[in-house]
Structure 1
Amino acid sequence: MSFAPEQFASANKAAIEAFLTFANTAFASVERLAALNLNTARSTLEDSVATTKALLAVKDVQELAALQSSLARPGVEKAVAYARGVYEIATEAQGQFSKAVEEQVGELNKNIASVLDKAAKSAPAGSDAAVAAVKSAFAAANSAYDSINKAAKQVAEIAEANVAAATDATVKAVGAAPAKTKKAA
């Protein structure tokens, strides 16, 4: 069995397209992350200036305690929002990478199946058992890949749910803390 130059050209074109998909996804994600970091840095600087001005205006310990409790929640909420933003960017990039890999694996599977069918047609008499064994091994490998892929998606979904739950719990805990502080004072 031989491969025609068109097959090599087609394979090279597919590889270049896959590389460009990965590169574009990576650059878009880095660009979004850079914008998030820049906006967060700008917001943090503005908040620091406002906090400094508020601290300079404090006249007694009670005002300082009230100011401190009022500043804690927005800071934690902004940190949680930043973490959510980073997580969202990473999750979307991972999803796009996974989709591209799945497409490549699907195309590879079609090509291998085609090659196996051509090999079976041109195989010498009596090699049916060997061809069937190769096809069976190929089917088993695909089944294993599908199982691993499904398990990985389930793990990602569970992790995403746990991150969301932890984030919500953190925000609620910080929201409850100032109320407890006010009751104690």
Structure 2
Amino acid sequence: MSTLTPQQLVAAQQANLDAFFGVTNKAFAGFEKLVALNLQVSKAALAETQEIVTKAISAGNPGALLALQASLSQPAAEKAVAYGRSVYEIVSEVQSEISAAATAQGEKLQQDTQEFVESLKKNAPAGSESAIAAWKSVFSAANATYESANKAAKQFVATVSTVQ
């Protein structure tokens, strides 16, 4: 029967750690983009508030103050929509990168599992055909479930993306 060597175990663990830290780095990069966006928006809002307060103080009559207030509503709504769009783009990009990494990791796991079962099959003692067939059946069912779940998740993300 085939056994995993310590080098194979170390390589597998290293690959898993690399995948984990790759996903973590992508998440932090997205977080950095959100922080930068929020700092930019906050800085712009502070400058605009200063300008608005200065104009409000210098408005000599109530009519000018009302006109100033009315002129601010449309740009504020447009800025809110632009901010929401920017957040959505950042989150979508990170989600897409993480999804791609997870898909690649899942495909690698499927390949490794299939290779392991084939190795078991080659090195199995006589009379263990039914056990190997059972293993193959279990892994085939797991792969089919994974494929089905992956397809459903991609359809869900596509549907949510079109709603946005």
Identity of aligned residues (%): 39
Residue in 2 that maps onto 1:149: 150
Paired residues, what number?
Answer: 163
TM-score, length-scaled by structure 2 = 0.88
Residue in 1 that maps onto 2:22: 21
Shift of 1:40: 0.6
Residue in 1 that maps onto 2:162: 161
- What is the rounded CA distance, in whole Å, between the counterparts of 1:66 and 1:39 in structure 2? 28
Matched to 1:9, the amino acid is V
Matched to 1:94, the amino acid is Q
SS at match of 1:125: coil
Distance 1:61 1:161, change over 3 A: farther
The aligned runs of 1:1-185 (5 Å cut-off) are: 1-163=2-164
Matched to 1:14, the amino acid is A
Shift of 1:54: 2.4
- What is the rounded CA distance, in whole Å, between the counterparts of 2:59 and 2:162 in structure 1? 42
Deviates more, 1:109-118 or 1:144-153: 144-153
- What is the rounded CA distance, in whole Å, between the counterparts of 1:88 and 1:49 in structure 2? 29
- What is the rounded CA distance, in whole Å, between the counterparts of 2:126 and 2:133 in structure 1? 13
Unaligned 5+ segments in structure 1 are 164-185
TM-score, length-scaled by structure 1 = 0.79
Distance 1:161 1:68, change over 3 A: farther
- What is the rounded CA distance, in whole Å, between the counterparts of 1:130 and 1:4 in structure 2? 23
Distance 1:63 1:158, change over 3 A: farther
Matched to 2:11, the amino acid is S
Shift of 1:115: 0.9
Residue in 2 that maps onto 1:180: none
- What is the rounded CA distance, in whole Å, between the counterparts of 1:157 and 1:67 in structure 2? 43
Q: Deviations over 1:41-95 (max 9, x none)?
A: 0011011112212222334444333322221111111112111111111111111
